[in-house]
Each structure stands twice: as structure tokens, then as C-alpha cells.
Amino acid sequence: MDDALLLNVVLYLPLLGIALIVALPQGQDDRVRHLSFGVMLAQFVITAFLYLRFDPTVAGLQAQTNLPWIADWGVYYRIGLDGYNVLLVLLTAFLGPPVVAGAFSAIGKDVKLFYAMVFFIQFAMLGTFLAQDLLLFYIFWETMLIPMFLIIGIWGGERRIYATVKFVLYTAAGSILMLAALIYLVWSQYADSGNLSFAFADLFGTKLSLAEQGWLLAAFALSFAIKVPMVPLHTWLPDAHVEAPTTGSVILAGVLLKMGTYGFIKLGFPLFPEVSQLAMPAVMALAVISIVYGACLALVQTDIKKIIAYSSISHLGYVMLGLASLDLIGIQGAIIQMVSHGLTAAGLFLMVGMIYERCHTRELAAYGGLAKALPVYSVFFMILTLAAIGLPTTSGFTGEFLVLLGAFNAAWPQHLAGDSLPLFWAVVAVTGVVLGAMYMLWFAQRFLYGTTKVPHGPVADLNRREKLILAALLVPVFWIGLAPGEPLRKTEQAALHFQTLVAGPQATSTATALPPHLARRAAEATR
């Protein structure tokens, strides 16, 4: 079967899943659960096959589909895989089965509607990553709001309406400005070239004044920064995580937050390169503030969900730091960090949901000594904790190390030239690693050790389903940590493309610090 057709199968399988579970008679909740798991598993298998077939030496799109949609307006149905999205598409498909299986015992109300919404948001997230047309991207981007609104609003906690409305207001405000900006951008490109097109490739290089680029970047960046989220646009996230059901938190942390960082690397910075270069010092400052501020807030939380929620702000700050460095190593580290955070945060939120199902409280003070009471649970929890703080051999170490290496690699020449501010921010970013170890180890110490405290008496350790879910999540955590060469090769061309678009050909002056094959490719990309 053609790769382009297989990619469309991956995208539309969730819609088939919705049709299949809607067709089932009422009262067959177990069949709904197992059917949903089967569809998600099939989607992951096909996605993994496409990932293995992805050629890392090809700089452009692969498995692409390009069909007229609203052709008179220049709108086409364009989807495809490239180095920007291939790992994120794989991550989204990989998390599908654990998300579905993790909700087997947690969701007992409106089961058919719940799994229909999980499929719906899976479709929207994959569409956002795969879209290569700006209007198509925007439609998928906005579509994600609907199922997440319902997942939190129907199956969330006591303050779910407040959290849902706050989430929608924040994201909708940014999206409205992005819509206005994309219309202006497309019209400007049409006025300049006479070609009306929403294709990403056609919009790169649109001739705009510096002022126009500044306003348009601000509109796109606001929408993306809310989704990341970056400080000070982060306040919706803790409320959404705390009130969302476990599945909602896993989707939010595992994939949805990556939409913001993906938006920056795929569209925000490359569309407006001149003003992006001028804005990078401010982006770097906000990234480091997010790293430190998120870590400090995590240190003082008493709700175990909020600890992980604020840690997400800190971890995604590293992604923005890697992009702001405009260094090949930092850019690739940012992509790896997106995937790593998606795996570890998803695992930790699943484990919070597992203990909440047993004890019905998220207050950290209510727990203690779980290493004795629930030894298997504690082993998985400790491994994910160490991965989250970047222990060597785990994906967390690969992502953070490459980001920091890229930040120092870019900052040192500027320091020698008399500008020490980038080096200052790189040094401060290192403290985030220390703070991350502090809040996660403090969390683990109070949660797993000390006097045994288990709310509502003795509880059972992990069952076979839960062990399989967590064991599956650990496989890519150690794969990326022990053998990062494979995923780095998949993203190499995209990192070179991003650097060339935003920083220009002169950016390869930093290539002397790179491994030989990267230095050679960087030189070739700018000839």
C-alpha cells in the first residue's frame, strides 16, 4: 500500500473508531473499551511502519497528499511527514493505546461518548501535526478545543466548569489573533506574487516589512505561547490538569502542549525570520524564566497533580530555549525534549490516576511509605521520576543535555564578542536541572518513603493491565536515552531547514562544534 494512503489511514482511523463505537448497542461498555483499544493499537502499528520507512536523508515532505479543496482560494488538502513532525506523530499514535487502556477502570459514565471524544481529539492532534496548508492547520488547531472542552467539562472534578471555561478563553483569544494574522499573511503573499496559496512552502519567504513581521509574529506567538504554555500565559494549565480526568491530563501533557512548541518551530519563527532573530533574546529570557519559575512553583505544591503540571512548564521551557539558541544541537535537543516530556509526563499522570482510583485523594500529605505498601507501583514511579529529572540513559537526559549544549554552543561566540547575556541565560537554565531534581526527589521522598500512610487503608498493587501500560511507556524512554542516534537522524534535515530559514546561511559558523556529519550537512545546506 502507498505510504501516502497509509498516512491518511492513520489520520482517519479515529473517525472510523467513532463510527464503530457509536454503532454498538447501549450497555456494552466493555466492548466499547476493547474496540477503542484495538483501533488505537492498529493506528500505532501503521504509524510505526511509516516511521521505519521515513528516509532521514530526504529534506522535503514524504508520504504526502496534495488534493484541491477550495482551489479557487488556494486551499488544498495537504498532509505529509517531515523531520519536524515524524517523531511527534509517532508519539501521538504511541500514547493512544495507553490513554485508552488507562481509562478502563476510571471512566464509568457515558463511556461511548468519552471514547468518541478521545478519538476526536486524537484525529485533531494528528491533523495539526500533519497539515501542510495554513488554513487546514488552523482548522485542526481549533478543532482540538471541542473534545478537550467536553472531556474536562463532563468527566472532570468539582471545579471542572471553571477550568474548562478558562482553558477555552485563553486558547480562543490567541487563536482569533492567529486567524487575523494568517489572512493578512496570505493576502500579502498574493499581492506580492500573484499566487493565492495557503501552503507552508509558498508562505515562507513572503516579502514583509519589519513592522509587519513584528505584528504577525506577535499574533502567532501569542497563540503558540498560550498552548506551550510560557510564563506569564501559563495560569490555565494547573487548573485544567487538576480538574481534568486522568485521560485528559495525559493528553494535555503528552501531546497537546507540544502543539505550541511545534507551532513555533514549524511556522512562527520560519515565517518571520528577520524579526524572529531580533526577538530571540526575549524568547530565550522567557524560556529560562519558565524553566526556573515552573520549577519553583512545583517545589511548593501540595497537590500531586499540580506538581507535575508545573513541572511541565519548566520542561517545555527547555524546548523554547533550544529553539531560541538557533544552534543545530539545541534545535534537535528541543525536538527530543518534546518527545521525552510527552512520555514521562504521560506516565506520571497515569500513575497519579492509578493511585487516585485507589485512595481518592491527590493531597501529598495524605501519603507516605508507598515503597513498602505498593512496591511495584513505587519502582515504576521512581523510574519515571528519574527520567523526568534527566538521569543519564533516559530520554530526559538526551533532550536536556542537547538543549543546554546547544545554548552554550550558541552563547559562547557571542560572549567572546562582548555580549554575555545569552551565556548568562544558559547558566541560569542549568539551575533548572538542579531545581528539577529538588522538587521531583522531594516529591518522591514524601510519597514513597517515611511513615506508611495509605488513605482508606491497605490497597492493591498494580494489576497486569497497569504494569503493561507503564512498561510500554518505559521502552521509548530508554530507547531514546541509550540510542538517540536513530531519532536524531530523523530530525536532522528539519533542524538544518529551521536554522537556515531563521538564522540564515551564516548560522553554520557554529557548525565547527558539531559532529562531522552534522557539520558537513550544515555547510552543504548553506551553499
Give tens-digit pLDDT for 240-262. Answer: 888 889 899 999 999 999 999 99
How high is the mean pLDDT of the chain? Answer: 89
- 272 by DSSP, 3-state: which? coil
Given this model, what pLDDT does residue 173 score? Answer: 85
Confirm if 483 and 457 have CB atoms less than 8 A apart.
Answer: no
**First-to-final CA distance of the chain:** 37
Given this model, what pLDDT does residue 527 score? Answer: 40
Tell me which range, 47-51, 232-236, 274-278, is most confidently predicted by mean pLDDT: 47-51
Given this model, what pLDDT does residue 93 score? Answer: 96
Given this model, what pLDDT does residue 505 score? Answer: 63
Rounded to the nearest angstrom, the gap between the alpha carbon of residue 339 and the centroid of all alpha carbons in its chain is 7
pLDDT at 516 over 70: no
What Cα–Cα distance (Å) separates residue 82 from each residue in 251, 334, 412?
Answer: 23, 16, 31
| Closest by Cα among 254, 280, 256, 284 to 269 | 280
pLDDT at 9 over 60: yes
DSSP 363: B
Average pLDDT over residues 19-46: 92
290-332 pLDDT, tens per residue?
999 999 999 999 899 999 999 999 999 999 999 999 999 999 9
DSSP 230: P
Whole-number Å distance between alpha carbons of 250 and 354:
12
pLDDT at 513 over 70: no
Q: Which of 156-165, 273-282, 343-352 has the lowest mean pLDDT?
A: 156-165
Identity at 221, one-letter amino acid code: A
pLDDT classification of 452: cutoffs 50, 70, 90: confident
pLDDT classification of 526: cutoffs 50, 70, 90: very low
Given this model, what pLDDT does residue 213 score? Answer: 92
Q: Longest Cα pair distance anywhere in the chain, in angstroms? A: 72
Each as own residue / partner, the long-range contacts of residues 212-217 (CB below 8 Å, 24 or more positions apart, any chain) are 212/184, 212/188, 213/272, 213/274, 213/275, 213/276, 214/272, 214/275, 215/181, 216/181, 216/184, 216/185, 216/271, 216/272, 217/268, 217/269, 217/271, 217/272, 217/275, 217/276, 217/279
Helix, strand, coil shares of the chain, percent, nearest 5, are 75, 5, 20
Whole-number Å distance between alpha carbons of 194 and 440:
55
Average pLDDT over residues 127-150: 93
27-39 pLDDT, tens per residue?
888 999 999 999 9
Task: Give the pTM.
Answer: 0.91
